[in-house]
Homo-oligomer: A and B are copies of this chain.
Amino acid sequence: MPAPSLTPAPTLSAEELAARRDQAQRDYDAFVARGLSLDLTRGKPSPEQLDLASGLLAVQLDHDYRAADGTDTRNYGGLNGLVELRAIFADALQVPVAQLVAANNSSLAVMHDCLVHALLSALPGSEGRWVDEPIAFLCPVPGYDRHFALCERFGIEMIAVPLTFDGPDMDVVESLVAGDPRIRGIWCVPKHSNPDGTCYSDETVGRLAAMPTAAGDFRIFWDNAYAVHDLVDKRVEIADLLAACAAAGNPDRAFVFGSTSKITLAGAGVAFFGASPANVAWYLGHTAKRTIGPDKLNQLRHVRFLRDRAGLDAHMAAHRALIAPKFAAVERILIEQLGGTGLATWSTPKGGYFVSLNVPAGCAAAVVKRAAEAGVALTPAGSTHPYGNDPDDRTIRLAPTFPSQEDLELAMAGVATCVRLVGFEQLLGK
């Protein structure tokens, strides 16, 4: 999405530009001289955030391993996952409990498996297997690199569509899906999107649910990764895609994904899948061939630890208290160093894990390279776009959560310095 232009480009003389470039070079040299090693690459929770879930690791199940329905969670079975855990998350993920599946520790894995099952077996509504014909997915950009990696790995053509403040540009989306039967899906992170922090408008959700598609088996891969990850007082609400699809007569269009990776523990959370009854039956039918069931004990630990929706909300408030200062620091440093330079715009997300930093066209890769040389690792430029190709070379994804506050502020100062250096160099035609 075109980030707000916080920094109208000033008109500077060549001399003024050279002076600023020289100052940036001095700042950069000083930064390099510090010999730092900092990492802003991935959206990982910090150790302090993980500490919030220490109660989860203290849950002892040796004498209390029965689920609400009496199931011995230690043994095989229970492909749907524990109903009491699904009940805690049903409202947040906007999926009825009966249509929500709780799986193992990775929602990415569930997305992967949905693609695999669709490739190797017909989906409800499909005329055949996806593997037997060329297919394509729409990819709102900037977007999540691991979504794109799945498409690339399976030979699914990716078609970029612009992300607006309200979600994907629906005029473009509607036109594409109406005319091209190869297009079988779209990747969406509908709330606090990665990396722009976009929250889809109700109109966008309604249009996604109702739009005519040339493909009879079109699916919205609705990765609601940040469903409860607000950084503002008033919870951000998005429209209920699953209900909208059903209301529009397209009940099987939505695949909803979520996880507790950024709620409890990044490596040992629980992933969720929600969809229409027909889709859930399809998913579970294939999943039953793959496994006898998920780790129900970890699900039970989550139930004991989070207790209910109120417990979940309280837990997320504790996360917010830890990470909101980090997002604030990113914004403050960007304003301080880049405000008024005309060299950058950035997102100001109301939640999620990322900030998008937009630099002048042709500068993103150079900024990332300069930052790396100064000891600050950034996500590779282009990773927010299909095939790693940001055609304008302008989007940089910042992940502020993992480093300490001090390291983050250091790293951001370095990044901003790199933007000034690369930006003024470009303006000077060097």
Contacts and interface: CB of A to CB of B under 8 A. Distances in A.
A290 B74 contact: no
A74 B268 CA distance: 7
A57 B53 contact: no
A388 B316 CA distance: 50
A265 B106 contact: no
Contacts of A266: 74-76, 292
Given A109-B290, A119-B120, A149-B289, A74 B53 contact: yes
Interface string A50-67: 100111111011110100
A267 interface: yes
Q: Which of A57, A72, A286 has the most CB of B within 10 A?
A: A57
Given A62-B55, A295-B105, A76 B44 contact: yes
B73 A62 contact: no
B58 A62 contact: yes
Nearest to A59: B60
Nearest to A119: B120
Interface string A103-116: 01110110011001
A224 to B, nearest CB: 18
Interface size class of A (residues with CB under 8 A): 35 or more
Nearest to A111: B290
Contact of A290 (B75, B108, B261): B108
A333 interface: no
A75 B267 contact: yes
Interface string A142-154: 0000100110011
Q: Which of A44, A72, A131, A290 has the most CB of B within 10 A?
A: A290
Contacts of A113: 290
A191 interface: no
B106 A150 contact: no
Given A73-B268, A75-B265, A108-B291, 16 more contacts: A45-B75, A57-B61, A57-B65, A60-B60, A75-B267, A76-B266, A106-B290, A112-B291, A113-B290, A116-B120, A120-B120, A121-B153, A149-B289, A150-B289, A267-B294, A268-B297
Interface of A: 42, 44-45, 47, 50, 53-58, 60-63, 65, 72-78, 104-106, 108-109, 112-113, 116, 119-121, 131, 146, 149-150, 153-154, 261, 265-268, 286, 289-298
